[in-house]
Structure 1
Amino acid sequence: MKTIVVPFDFSPYSLAALKTAQKISSKSGAKIICVTVIPSEIDYDKLSDSARQKYSELREEKEEAERILPDYIHEVAPAKADIIQEIRIGVPYELILRVADENQADLIVMGAYGKGYTPGKFIGSTIQKVLRKSTVPVLAVKEALDGNDFRKLAFASTFHPGAKVAFDKIKSLVKTFKSSTHLVFINTPTKFTSSAEVKEGMDRFQSGNEEIVFHQHTYNDSEAEKGIISFCKESGIKWLAVVTGNHDKSPSYLISTTETVLFKGDLGVLSVKV
């Protein structure tokens, strides 16, 4: 793992994301790019110098952020490694993904707003859009994860062959922390799968990954999201990876499952696309 992008908006949640990224960086040596976006419908990056002169307020906000951010970051999240800081103007999710693409990021770590489930409300639209559109794995946290938290990972999937491809994207992170990886299949009444089928999928998944310690689990619940949260709570696991897809026939859990687990629980959720 070489590059981690952290969206930062001065909130406690983005600070939790930054501290989590710092923990990963201290173990992996990855550089951290902290991106702060001044919201605007104007794509400032693509304007000419003369056109930018028309938006003096936006320019002043950017200059102020450039003055404040370095000292603020050093104060609230001191670390030995330097943090590269990017201040952009535009639509937040678009620029987060753009910075990740420009820097060939291996991981995006971002804060998840809110705690608990309130009908009619959801996590911020920015994180929703990043989760849905990013091809880079996204780790969303409400609280900072420390070294002990990273030692046990739940990997929730239906263990279709595509899950192995997804796991390859985060294998370096798993190996960095020597994470004991708990493979979990949530068996629900509507999509019941026999134990033999589940074991076959998990065995196939583990093949070629012998350097990693795996534990296999099948957990029964009425809904996949409830089962994932309950399993992690009972197992004392603080973060999980969910292999996600965007379509009903995708060989994985849907992206909405990832969002729901993130919103209803306190877990750090690592979304990995098939």
Structure 2
Amino acid sequence: MNDMFTRVLLAMDLTPKSEILLPCLYSLCPDTNTEIILAYVFDEEEDADPYSSSYKKVYSKLQGYANELMRNGYEAVSIEMPWGEVFEEITRVGDDKEVDLTLVASHGKGFFRSALLGSTTFDLARSSKRPLFVAKTDGDSDNIADDDMLRKLMIPTDFSKKSLVALNLIRSLREHVAEVVFVHVVERSRNQSDLESKLLNAESRMEELVAEMKLFGIKASYLVDKGAASKKICRWAEEENVSMIAMTKTGAGLVKGLVMGATAQNVTLNSERSLLLLPADEVSND
């Protein structure tokens, strides 16, 4: 997996929020050979008529983004403007084009907790079988909290192969990743002795991951604790000032066919940091 993201879908809604996706793309996809698809979904069929004023207005805006991308060296840029249910159409375009990554923008503080449960973004997060990047803004501003998504990655892991899919991202982009923080939370233990054993074992395995990162020339550290995994991840992401949380959507032991596990779902809902959500079936590419 040397070229992790070769074809990328930018789902734009033409609000200032969605404009933050461009600097995110530059960070996550530094290879200008990356193929980029700009997509906007109309709610009404008549607006998707190429002769309508709505269509012309949206196309002009998307063409402006395409021109900016091409000025930055990305030559393979196309535009898709379907109509229908936003979530369904973004999924369909991503599947039809066989994209490696979909990027969407969402609000930061307060938005997920109050409104995301029925939103397009959360529908995509729960059901998409393709990697999904969710860009979050810094508080109430329209600016991305961090322009360089690879400045400091947080990778939560339960040490299963599924939970370490994010290592593929680091291996693919190791020349661009500056720092990694690994996180492991022991959520259950039979007794104090069992807890201490699990914590000790986790630290030993974490040291192996840190050593691997250092072989790549990447600064690395780890955090191990007990408690509710999603709460610890969200808290540590703030304390460590990470640029992005990269995590697999399902962990070991989940019901087969369940696309999004509880921890990933809670982190998506509550984290104020941008997220890269990876499908567990990516392990087949190792």
Structure richer in strand, relative to its length? 1
2:64 corresponds in structure 1 to 71
- Rounded to whole Å, the distance in 2 between the matches of 1:240 and 1:220 is 18
Q: Report the CA distance between 1:205 and its aligned residue.
A: 6.3
- Rounded to whole Å, the distance in 2 between the matches of 1:114 and 1:151 is 19
Deviations 1:174-222 (A, max 9, x none): 4251342221112346795712332455467679875364735234364
TM-score, normalised to structure 1, is 0.76
2:267 corresponds in structure 1 to 261
- Rounded to whole Å, the distance in 1 between the matches of 2:89 and 2:175 is 28
Q: 1:14 aligns with which of 18, 23, 42?
A: 18
CA separation of 1:99 and 1:182: change in aligned 2, threshold 3 A: same
- 3-state DSSP class of the match of 1:37? coil
- Rounded to whole Å, the distance in 1 between the matches of 2:114 and 2:264 is 17
CA separation of 1:160 and 1:119: change in aligned 2, threshold 3 A: closer
Mapping for residues 191-210 of structure 1, pairs under 5 Å: 194-199=198-203, 201-202=205-206, 210=215
Contact 1:138-1:272 within 8 A present in 2 as well: yes
Unaligned runs of 5+ in 2: 138-143, 281-286
1:43 corresponds in structure 2 to none
Contact 1:185-1:218 within 8 A present in 2 as well: yes
Q: Report the CA distance between 1:159 and its aligned residue.
A: 1.4
TM-score, normalised to structure 2, is 0.73
1:161 corresponds in structure 2 to 161
Deviations 1:104-143 (A, max 9, x none): 2221121023522686533652111111222221111113
Q: Report the CA distance between 1:37 and its aligned residue.
A: 0.7
Mapping for residues 81-96 of structure 1, pairs under 5 Å: 81-82=74-75, 83-96=77-90
Tell me whether 245-254 or 124-133 shows the greater mean CA deviation. 245-254
Report the number of matched residues. Answer: 258
CA separation of 1:170 and 1:134: change in aligned 2, threshold 3 A: farther
Deviations 1:138-157 (A, max 9, x none): 1111133423x412111012
2:185 corresponds in structure 1 to 186
State the AA in 2 paired with 1:99.
Answer: V
- 3-state DSSP class of the match of 2:9? strand
State the AA in 1 paired with 2:130.
Answer: V
CA separation of 1:77 and 1:235: change in aligned 2, threshold 3 A: farther
Mapping for residues 35-114 of structure 1, pairs under 5 Å: 35-39=39-43, 56-59=46-49, 60=52, 61-71=54-64, 74=67, 79-82=72-75, 83-114=77-108
Q: Identity over aligned residues, as a percent? A: 17
2:140 corresponds in structure 1 to none
1:223 corresponds in structure 2 to 228
Tell me whether 72-81 or 55-64 shows the greater mean CA deviation. 72-81
Mapping for residues 106-125 of structure 1, pairs under 5 Å: 106-116=100-110, 120-122=114-116, 125=119
Q: Report the CA distance between 1:7 and its aligned residue.
A: 0.3
Contact 2:125-2:260 within 8 A present in 1 as well: no
1:2 corresponds in structure 2 to 6
- Rounded to whole Å, the distance in 2 between the matches of 1:93 and 1:128 is 9
- 3-state DSSP class of the match of 2:216? coil
Contact 2:170-2:177 within 8 A present in 1 as well: no
- Rounded to whole Å, the distance in 1 between the matches of 2:19 and 2:231 is 28
Contact 2:158-2:251 within 8 A present in 1 as well: no
Contact 1:24-1:30 within 8 A present in 2 as well: no
2:141 corresponds in structure 1 to none
CA separation of 1:249 and 1:57: change in aligned 2, threshold 3 A: closer
Q: Report the CA distance between 1:102 and its aligned residue.
A: 2.4
